[in-house]
Structure 1
């Protein structure tokens, strides 16, 4: 007791020690509070998962078999720990048979999926790059025919960039990371799915290259080039984002030149084979075969006169991007489309830093398209572009929209 009183008296009489003690006490209490709230949140999700695991099934039924492709290097090597802490317990309590495969290098996920068999779902544990790799492997496994892929995909936001997962499972509070991971895992358990669009990216005039698939964005320009070297400013800590744009403005007045050749969006016609049925999937279709309603037949034979028309446009810009509508408000999109965003031909230093930090580059021209050919003004260069936040060598490419090509688990 005397030791405690002596300690209290020392803290009271020495202001530096008092401040240090107050700071340590504050962070200690905050840590314990976060830990308690996290445990309570996980308890709620685990109890819900147990209810699924306790459901009665036939003795002839086997547990749902899912494959988790986990990138242990994602999010500064925190992905594996977070998966085991927040995702794996929910999957196991729900009675799922889980096969976890760790990726070992760049491109490994593609090779895994190309050979993967006998799984009811694939769950991706990683960031945007891992998502793109897994989906590319899935489509290659089906000989690049999206209609032949019947395996739904789950996305666990375990990377530093989680664009698709953030739109599917927004956190919204201090426990956003844990809540998003738990929501994404429960979506796999509940088997709620929705179709999303894909971009098929092919290198022009290269018959040996295989197509790559993406769900979010292709980006080229000064903002992309600055973010590509962001990691080397790690010693700035929370100011790293500012340092990235402050020290990488050398190209802002040297526009990137390219030619865009694109076709306009098509709601579905005989030319593009993008037929969208307006009729519902009624139970009698399974008995009598495909519906031959007048509405469906007309839609199939219709030919959109603009479908195969190509529009050529030369651009000189600081930034250009091609995006799907997966992370946008799809209620405002009537026809499946790619969104081409073109920035100004030059930008001043202050605006470059502001727009880069806020991640809202200025857009002066927007174009909607179904297919796009991107031809850089300098074909032979050492420049790079990003496909779902992964770097690729800059080459002339053709980007084709695949509407509603794959199903993902959602809330």
Structure 2
């Protein structure tokens, strides 16, 4: 539908209620959402590709820069801290700049961060890591809002689709990193730089969208105008339950992404094979998120998904404890369960809210808390390994976190809305 046939622009109050008169079956029509799905997919390409292979290079980083494992884990933790710190600011940034320009700016910062991280020198690797974390932090929050805006009747399916793309791209990026360091471990900087191709592709497309969309059109589709503050979820029990589920899911997943290669190498598995197992984890995440698209369409109750996904993750952790020789299989279990819990957590932001403003507020809160908690996981558990010289205690703690994940998930996945 073109601008000439879209009809008059509805008042802001009706937009906030999600009752735009020019909405299609998928969402509001008009120039602002043309190419929306392509744009979301290109954003998804960049939400994990630059961080997915970091765990594979940590042994080479610690050897080359003479870092401890706890310090090296900062390359994983810093982006998570950026997610936690900047997530609450993302809705305000998008209202100020407009959605398209916000995404474009975030991708530009991400691109610079990836390149800067690969420049020789310890200062640059930290600076680049902070910048790429800042870019992804904004993308993490605005993407569920984009989905809620442009696909209000298919939010769960589109969320599963872009989550699947995240998993697939992360698997490709991990394989690329493993291949490069397999040639020569000293090429770890080049391996980390390889993900810039995804950032450049996304930046080019969103620059095109930003240039072809007028400032007025972009701002018409914001979740809440600046003179109408978004509702606060911080005193809502269901919002905290979603945040707790996000916290446990993210912590277990990022600990495994960070330390799985090191856990395997302690059991005598070669570095290249361990890196490929990590790519299997990412690939299993992809398959699970595609399955999640089908499961999430079955109704408003996601409790069965939470139970099954957590049990699969538990199987993977227990397998690493009792039979590490089958690490590839256990990595697939962790990835499959993690993919299901991730897509469920992201879908809950839209499924437990009614308007774009509510979705943005809950997304910012849930991701801020979730990633703040998750940031502590790799560092604290890496320090535990440094102190004990063994990964058994770390894996046992992860089992405890999975129990907490089940409790929080069962409450968050019950049908309902945060603002009833």
Q: TM-score, normalised by structure 2?
A: 0.28
Higher RCO (C-alpha 8 Å, min separation 6): 2
In terms of fraction of residues, the more strand-rich structure is 1
Q: Whose Rg is larger? A: 1
Q: TM-score, normalised by structure 1?
A: 0.29
